[in-house]
Structure 1
Amino acid sequence: MAHDHDHDHAPDHEHQHTHHHDHGDLDWAEMAPHLEAEAELYTPLYERAMAWLGKKQTEPGLIVDAGSGPGVVSALLAEAFPGARVVAVDAAEPLLERARARAERRGVADRFGVLAGELPGVLDDLDYPADLIWASNSLHHLGDQRAALAAFAERLAPGGTLALLEGGLPVRFLPRDIGIGRPGFQDRLDVARADWFARMRADLPGAVDVPEDWPELLAGAGLRPTGTRSFLLDVPPPATDRARACLVSTLTRIREACADRLDATDAATLDRLLDPEDKASLHHRRDVFYLTARTVHTAARIDAPR
């Protein structure tokens, strides 16, 4: 199924991040506009997260966006840290082409590079260690998350920071009772998505179950946890066209991935919400909003003196 970033690929986040295990059946050229639109919608959230990171990190020389997708966040990192070189890393070449084009448009191409390959091994191809590695909803696409974190940690310069965006709150976009179907539709959709996500993880090559205590996992990778903070994205009703378009795109992917996990009533509600001819759809309703949070966990590489 196509990515629904946030979880980056759980049906719901499209986030920006693309991953290997399903490259075979994903058309990245087709996915790219959705990944870009969603990351653009989340720009205010990312900018607040970067301002927070900027207070922890002396001006980084090299920033790596690990699982960059089409580079929306990579370009924001280049703008937030004007002294840094940014490298967008992803397994999907068509997305990296878009990242390069975006860097040109944003005027940061002179300090912007791309690196194609599978995480985490491709990080060995970096010319020198990174001062900041940003990994947004990319880790959960790797079977062995603990091993991947250790590999990320090895690519950090002493004093460098790993910023891991994983978790937060599911997107809320409609009130509890929407006048069609059974009230509480979104809660049941969350259950279906969580089930899908668990199956996606279980099917990854080399999948290892680990309790997702991110600060503990970062410490286990030899890093010193330096903070966890969540950032809100709040688009009130009636939602903007951009937020509506992202919801339609995300829910279309959820329908493709999770339809067999919904009962007939909820499946019918989902169909109506996605039908542009239906006045009860996301395209026309005035009560549509977009409310979510993303959580960033940071940790620093502290090497003992030799």
Structure 2
Amino acid sequence: MTSHHHQHGHQHGHGHGNVPAADFDWDALAAHLEHEADLRAGAVTEAARWLSGLAGDGTAGAVRRILDVGSGPGVIAGILADTFTTAEVVAVDQSAALLERARIRSGGRLGTRQVDLPAEFDKLGEADLIWSGNAIHHLGDQQAALASLAGVLRPGGLLAVAERGLPARFLPRDFGLGRPGFQARLDAAHEDGFSTMRAELPGSTAEIEDWPAMLERAGLTPSGTRTILVDRPAPLDRPTREYLHTQLRRLHDQLADSLLPEDRDTLEALLDEEAPTGILHRPDAFYLSAMTVHTARRA
């Protein structure tokens, strides 16, 4: 489990950009996850400031300990540490390699905790604020996971769950390759793959994904939802193009068999590293996504 933050995503990042698979090699994806989180850093900073207001930070010691559950390489945990300057911030993940990356990236100011969820929720320790971005959907019983997180909140503490939002858009509807509407069809194939991934998780439980209602069932009081845009207009810088190229390569590896032949051809043309029509060179490529954060408080 990690964040990919996303987007669902995925939404996502982050975690992991909304790409389905029950058995990610998170360690191999470290650089990609880090880049995805960096892309969303502005939106996460905005979310962190909003959470600071909700959490009443500014009153002495309101937020003493923060957990980023499914932290991946620790980009978001670092942003939380920048916002809540007096709090202890702990990056929580199952991957030792990603946690080491988080520790190095932060210059050692982040705490780290390697935990295998859902089995080891009891190892998290108490917190005043818990952030979880695109991680809960990697656990079979999402409702039970929220209840476990609610259980480690201190009274008055806040749980912030970033899930779903809107999938990324990075090309016009008609961009001159194949049939228009390519990304919508890619999304449809991804959603089917995401559902398959969820169904194959241990302890998989079907759930209507009404996150505020789920937070309330976990014993918390919903305290607001916000959606924040991640907007990188064309023309894109080279690092963002390289991120998209990696993302498209992963989509090709995971979805190629479920795409129409013409869409598979389009995807392969976008992956061509030399062609001017490839994602690495197109002047019309952009990056637009939306991150949705649901919050709730323990009474």
Note the C-alpha offset of 1:126. Answer: 3.3
- Amino acid aligned to 1:15: H
Checking the alignment, whether the CA contact within 8 Å between 1:66 and 1:119 is kept in structure 2 is no
Checking the alignment, whether the CA contact within 8 Å between 2:21 and 2:197 is kept in structure 1 is no
Note the C-alpha offset of 1:102. Answer: 1.1
Checking the alignment, whether the CA contact within 8 Å between 1:8 and 1:138 is kept in structure 2 is no
Structure 1 pair 170–8 and aligned structure 2 pair: CA distance change class (3 A): closer
The aligned residue for residue 138 of structure 2 is 141
The aligned residue for residue 243 of structure 1 is 240
Single out whichever of 29-38 and 217-226 deviates more from structure 2.
29-38
Number of equivalences: 291
Q: Distance in 2 between matches of 1:249 and 1:13?
A: 15
Stretches of structure 2 lacking an aligned partner (at least 5 in a row): 58-62
Note the C-alpha offset of 1:120. Answer: 3.6
Please give the secondary structure, in 2, of the residue aligned with 1:227. strand
- Amino acid aligned to 1:55: G
- Amino acid aligned to 1:192: A
Stretches of structure 1 lacking an aligned partner (at least 5 in a row): none
Structure 1 pair 61–290 and aligned structure 2 pair: CA distance change class (3 A): same
Note the C-alpha offset of 1:241. Answer: 1.7
Aligned-pair identity in percent equals 48
Note the C-alpha offset of 1:202. Answer: 0.4
Q: Distance in 2 between matches of 1:9 and 1:199?
A: 15
Give the structure with the higher percent helix. 1
Task: Provide, for residues 126-171 of structure 1, a one-character-per-residue CA deviation record: whole Å limited to 9, x for no partner.
Answer: 34x1000000000000000010010000000000000000011110
- Amino acid aligned to 1:103: S
- Amino acid aligned to 1:67: G
Checking the alignment, whether the CA contact within 8 Å between 2:8 and 2:165 is kept in structure 1 is no
Residue 296 of structure 1 is aligned with which of 287, 293, 298?
293
The aligned residue for residue 186 of structure 1 is 183
Task: Provide, for residues 81-123 of structure 1, a one-character-per-residue CA deviation record: whole Å limited to 9, x for no partner.
Answer: 101001111011110010110111xxxx34x211112124433
Checking the alignment, whether the CA contact within 8 Å between 1:16 and 1:72 is kept in structure 2 is no
- TM-score scaled by length of structure 1: 0.90
Checking the alignment, whether the CA contact within 8 Å between 1:3 and 1:9 is kept in structure 2 is no
Q: Distance in 1 between matches of 2:35 and 2:136?
A: 21
Q: Distance in 2 between matches of 1:95 and 1:209?
A: 30
Note the C-alpha offset of 1:64. Answer: 0.1
The aligned residue for residue 115 of structure 1 is 113
Q: Distance in 2 between matches of 1:135 and 1:259?
A: 30
Checking the alignment, whether the CA contact within 8 Å between 1:226 and 1:299 is kept in structure 2 is yes
Please give the secondary structure, in 1, of the residue aligned with 2:164. strand
The aligned residue for residue 53 of structure 1 is 51
Note the C-alpha offset of 1:15. Answer: 1.3
Note the C-alpha offset of 1:3. Answer: 8.8
Checking the alignment, whether the CA contact within 8 Å between 2:13 and 2:133 is kept in structure 1 is no
Q: Distance in 2 between matches of 1:3 and 1:264?
A: 32
Residue 277 of structure 2 is aligned with which of 252, 263, 280?
280
Please give the secondary structure, in 2, of the residue aligned with 1:119. coil
**Cα RMSD between the aligned structures?**
2.0
- TM-score scaled by length of structure 2: 0.92
The aligned residue for residue 35 of structure 2 is 37
- Amino acid aligned to 2:258: R
Q: Distance in 2 between matches of 1:13 and 1:113?
A: 23
Checking the alignment, whether the CA contact within 8 Å between 1:67 and 1:119 is kept in structure 2 is no
